Structure 1
Amino acid sequence: MQVFEDWNQKVKKTFNATNPTAVLTVAEAGNALGLSKDQMKLYVDKNKLTKVPIMRSVHRYLLLKSEIDDIVNKR
């Protein structure tokens, strides 16, 4: 039986394999801050966080883990 792998996790794994910059999915970043995925998207836009674009996808992006860690540590 084939095991389902979340598309965002698959993209993150591929990105991390080819780039030394640590990233998080929007959902992971939201969990770290206690926000839902939709709330996190608004938070990213409001606070002008760095969006790491994903090839072949206009609406999806990854977030820099370092920025999220800084926000969590300041809370």
Structure 2
Amino acid sequence: MQVFEDWNLKVKKTFNATSNKEVLTVSEAGSLLGLSKDQMKSYVDQHKLTKVPIMRSVVRYLLLKSEIDTILNKI
């Protein structure tokens, strides 16, 4: 039986395997900060965090884990 894998997590896994930068999905970053996915998207725009674009997608992006870690250390 094939196990469902969230598309964003699949892209993240592929990106992390091929890059020296570690990334998080918007949902993962939001859960670390106690925010919903929509709240996290607003937070990213307000604080001008780096959006790592996903090819072939205009609305989806990943976030740099290092930026989220920095925010968590300030809290």
TM-score of the two chains, using structure 2 as the length reference:
0.98
Deviations 1:8-61 (A, max 9, x none): 000000101111100000000000100000000000000000000001100000
Q: Secondary structure in 2 aligned to 1:59?
A: coil
Aligned equivalents of 1:56, 1:14: Cα separation in 2: 15
Q: Which runs of 4+ in 1 moved over 2 A?
A: none
Aligned equivalents of 1:41, 1:62: Cα separation in 2: 11
Q: Counterparts in 2 of 1:5-24, with a 5 A limit?
A: 5-24=5-24
Unaligned runs of 5+ in 1: none
The CA RMSD over aligned residues, in Å, is 0.4
Aligned equivalents of 2:66, 2:36: Cα separation in 1: 20
Corresponding residue number in structure 2 for 1:60: 60
Unaligned runs of 5+ in 2: none
Aligned equivalents of 2:26, 2:36: Cα separation in 1: 9
Corresponding pairs, count? 75
- Identical pairs, percent: 80
